[in-house]
């Protein structure tokens, strides 16, 4: 049993439970404080793992970058979930995307990092913001009731964090087993891992057909979205000659 991780999970659950919108503002600060404690406990748990890492001597970016961006990602994810105003939640999600892109850079997935910023922060989030603005009932100043009062926070937090605690415990066991068993030393791997060329070669040699199908899927969903969101206006009648009659 890894008690630091259990503590971190429990603190995270309490903090998220306190921060979920319930029409009261005072609990948000307390929740954020406990959230910082949870991040600290998680950091301790991770340091426990990192202690074994020193022996391996992996030549990579220093771990401090991971801790910084992981904390930003988790905090902004909590912001998305807990902020009562959808527009601010979308902006927190942009922050989460940027932190994830930085983590991808640390993992030598440069192209994915750039694509994530362009597609997620650029395209998908702009769509979200547009829909939030289109579908806001009459420019209300206080957030709507269904945004200020969340549904069943206790059950949701319990379910999610039981799942997280189980995953972390199992990973802790696996970590302990792997660290002492054979095969723990990482492969040096082929030289030149990372970068766009490697990804392109992999995509077009192993996944060429799925890539084309992904393009078809995007086209289909684009047409479907246009059809769904179209206003129900009476169809324009056309003459047999293909002209639209002037009325």
- Return the number of other C-beta atoms located less than 10 Å from residue 92's C-beta: 19
Long-range contacts of 98-104, Cβ-Cβ distance < 8 Å, separation of 24 or more: 99/69, 99/70, 99/72, 99/73, 100/69, 100/73, 102/65, 102/69, 103/66, 103/69, 103/70, 103/73
Encoded tokens for 102: 């930085």
Q: Which of residues 161-220 bind other proteins (CB under 8 A)?
A: 161, 163-164, 167-168, 171, 174-175, 178-179, 184-187, 189-190, 193, 198-199, 201-203, 206-207, 210-211, 214, 217-218, 220
Other C-beta atoms lying within 10 Å of the C-beta of residue 80: 17
CA 3 – CA 111 distance, rounded (Å): 38
Please tell me whether residue 119 binds other proteins under the rule CB under 8 A. yes
Smallest separation, CB 219 to other proteins (Å)? 10
Our finding on whether 88 is near other proteins (CB under 8 A) is no
Binding flag, residue 102, other proteins (CB under 8 A) = no
Shortest distance, position 225 Cβ to other proteins, whole Å: 4
Q: Residue 236 Cβ, how far from other proteins at the closest point, in Å?
A: 20
The number of angstroms, rounded, from the C-alpha of 235 to the middle of its chain's C-alpha atoms is: 41
Binding segment toward other proteins, per CB under 8 A, in 23-31, 113-121, 235-243: 113-121
Nearer residue to other proteins within complex by CB, 71 or 242: 71
Among positions 58, 233, 243, 244, the unique one binding other proteins when judged by CB under 8 A: 58
Estimate the share of the chain in helix, then strand, then coil, as percent rounded to the nearest 5: 75, 0, 25
Is residue 86 close enough to count as binding other proteins by CB under 8 A? yes
């Amino acid at each position: 049993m890894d008690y630091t991780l259990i503590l971190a999970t429990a603190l995270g659950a309490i903090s998220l439970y306190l921060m979920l919108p319930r029409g009261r503002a005072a609990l948000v600060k307390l929740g954020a404080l406990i959230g910082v404690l949870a991040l600290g406990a998680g950091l301790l748990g991770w340091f426990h793992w990192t202690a074994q890492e020193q022996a391996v001597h992996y030549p990579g970016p220093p771990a401090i970058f991971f801790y910084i961006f992981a904390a930003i990602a988790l905090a902004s994810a909590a912001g998305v979930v807990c902020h009562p105003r959808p527009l601010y939640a979308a902006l927190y999600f942009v922050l989460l995307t940027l932190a994830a892109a930085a983590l991808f850079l640390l993992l030598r997935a440069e192209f994915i990092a750039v694509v994530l910023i362009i597609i997620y922060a650029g395209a998908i989030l702009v769509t979200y913001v547009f829909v939030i603005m289109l579908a806001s009932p009459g420019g209300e100043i206080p957030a709507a009731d269904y945004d200020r009062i969340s549904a069943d926070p206790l059950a949701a937090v319990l379910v999610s964090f039981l799942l997280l605690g189980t995953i972390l415990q199992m990973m802790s066991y696996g970590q302990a087993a792997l660290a002492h068993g054979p095969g723990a030393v990482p492969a040096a791997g082929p030289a030149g891992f990372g970068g766009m060329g490697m990804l392109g070669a992999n995509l077009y040699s192993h996944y060429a057909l799925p890539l084309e199908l992904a393009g078809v899927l995007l086209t289909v969903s684009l047409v479907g979205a246009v059809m769904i969101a179209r206003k129900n206006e009476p169809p324009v009648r056309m003459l047999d000659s293909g002209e639209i009659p002037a009325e």
